[in-house]
Amino acid sequence: MSSVIENLAAVPASTDVAAGRLPASQYAENFADMHRPLTAHEALVESDRCYFCYDAPCQKACPTSIDIPLFIRKIGTGNVDGSAETIFSANILGGMCARVCPTETLCEEACVRNTAEDKPVRIGLLQRYATDHYMADHDTYGARKPATGKRVAVVGAGPAGLSCAHSLAAEGHDVTLFDARRKAGGLNEHGIATYKTVDDFAQSEVDFVLAIGGIALETGKALGRDLRLADLRRDFDAVFLGLGLQAVNALGLEGEGMLGVEDAVAWIEMLRQAPDKAMVPVGRRVVVIGGGMTAVDAAVQARKLGAEDVTMVYRRGREQMNASAYEQEVAQINGVKLVTWAEPRALHGANGIVTGVEFERTSIGLSGKLEGTGERFVIPCDQVMKAIGQLFVPGPVAGETAEAIALEKNRIRVDDEQRTSLTKVWAGGDCVLGGEDLTVVAVEHGKIAARSINAALGA
């Protein structure tokens, strides 16, 4: 936690980026749970809205293929533990996915009730109801089979790694789970808006996963610094890489190193780990550059910290944003201004401190490509957050000649069983080609890899 406090204290008094902009009581209200959990009666009523479709489209839309009609039916019959077990059998991180999955573009969008005249079944809230109920009374889900004597290294304790580790431990294999950070959880712990996962839920879920037994967690161990892939391949029977994304795209503009220009992912992590949200500095006027979930999370939380004016700017239209229409609405409800069809061209500053961002209006040209129109404008600000995509840093898996893993489009190439080009090595999550920056997709990758590893180990 000391590094977080050092970062909080690093803002010079000469900037207009400051902590404690709001009354102390306001922070608790602003960072309260985004969605109120369903009561038992509400869950029962909502479950009754499900048609229990044969060949249900909602299940097909779920990347982990949770049997949604079955778990909802079990809620309706009072078998809430059984409902949660149906969820966990397909998605061990079902509790977190119930909170952060874009259900509005996955299962709920596919719900046959989702029409102009009706609303979809609130699948996400029902899933949360069942999993929260179960986790309140159970230390873990599942039980280990007899020990196989096989050892597997899982590098990265994010959603993909946790999913893989739990599945392998359940099969009786001994798993060592490594993570570069001090706290396990990956994106769920470090990269998601605080108001989406309150009460330290990410760590509670890590504990829930590890409690199955057979998983040794070693934090502060980074591949390429503390671990070598060659050594892992030698010492373990199999290796799974759930490395995530380690860097953020740069704007490529002069002055990017000025005070007030922030990496949105790092800023969100600092906010997540801060012992007191009032300690986190924020500007009065904030510009967030990007159109994805990270941009929305940064923009909304800047407002919740007391920023007076927050503008989110995206180079294309709202329909092309990676953030769903629902997330865009969340941003606007929280007072974030959305500016589309504008691309950053210059950073303005004085005395090494950012004072504004110059944008150029964009449009789709005759060639079908995005082009500048020549019209420029400046948005004054004292804080800029970059949220224009993250990058995989392949050094630790590409720098050793004998251990080089095949890459494609700067991600790890895997087959349909998550196997890499190296024997004994599997990978999943955002570090692989086809990763979608979604917890639920990473969980599925880990599950598929575990199944393949288990078969390869002859279990």
169-178 pLDDT, tens per residue? 999 999 999 9
**pLDDT given at position 21:** 92
Average pLDDT over residues 422-448: 93
Give the lowest-confidence range in 13-17, 91-95, 138-142.
13-17
pLDDT at 94 over 80: yes
> Rounded to an integer, what distance in angstroms lies between the CA atom of residue 217 and that of residue 166?
12
**pLDDT given at position 1:** 44
Greatest mean pLDDT range, 16-30, 80-94, 248-262: 80-94
Instruction: Work out the pLDDT band at 433, boundaries 50, 70, 90.
Output: confident
**pLDDT given at position 13:** 43
Task: Return the structure tokens found at 41.
Answer: 């009666």
pLDDT tens digits along 317-362: 999 999 999 999 999 999 999 999 999 999 999 999 999 999 999 9
In terms of residues, how long is the chain? 459
Question: In the predicted model, what is the mean pLDDT of the chain?
Answer: 93
Residue 131 exposed, middle or buried by CB count within 10 Å (0-12, 13-18, 19+): buried
Amino acid at 147: A
- How far from 373 is each of 210, 291, 337, CA to CA, in Å? 54, 20, 22
> Rounded to an integer, what distance in angstroms lies between the CA atom of residue 147 and that of residue 212?
13
**pLDDT given at position 108:** 95
**pLDDT given at position 4:** 46
pLDDT tens digits along 203-257: 999 999 999 999 999 999 999 899 999 999 999 999 999 999 988 899 999 999 9
Average pLDDT over residues 275-298: 95
Q: What is the DSSP string of 265-324?
A: HHHHHHHHH-SSGGGS-EESEEEEE-SSHHHHHHHHHHHHTT-SEEEEE-SS-GGG-SS-
Instruction: Work out the pLDDT band at 437, boundaries 50, 70, 90.
Output: confident
Average pLDDT over residues 439-455: 97
Nearest to 218 by CA among 190, 166, 182, 168: 182
Partner residues linked to 240 by β-bridges: 154, 426
Amino acid at 3: S
Average pLDDT over residues 122-147: 97
pLDDT tens digits along 22-78: 998 899 999 999 889 999 999 999 999 999 998 999 999 999 999 999 999 999 999
DSSP-derived letter for residue 334 is T
**pLDDT given at position 98:** 96
Please list the helix, strand and coil fractions of the chain in percent, rounded to the nearest 5, in that order: 40, 20, 40
> H or E element: which one contains 41?
helix 40-47
**pLDDT given at position 89:** 98
Q: Which domains does the chain show, CATH number per domain? A: 40-137 (1.10.1060.10), 151-246+392-456 (3.50.50.60), 248-390 (3.50.50.60)
**pLDDT given at position 397:** 85
Q: Is the four-CA dihedral 411, 413, 419, 424 of positive or negative sign?
A: negative
**pLDDT given at position 11:** 47
Give the lowest-confidence range in 234-248, 385-399, 409-423.
385-399
The pLDDT > 70 percentage for the chain reads 95
**pLDDT given at position 399:** 59
Average pLDDT over residues 93-103: 95
**pLDDT given at position 398:** 77
**pLDDT given at position 72:** 97
Task: Return the structure tokens found at 176.
Answer: 């060592």
Instruction: Work out the pLDDT band at 401, boundaries 50, 70, 90.
Output: low
- Residue 129: φ, ψ to 5°: -55, -45
pLDDT at 158 over 80: yes
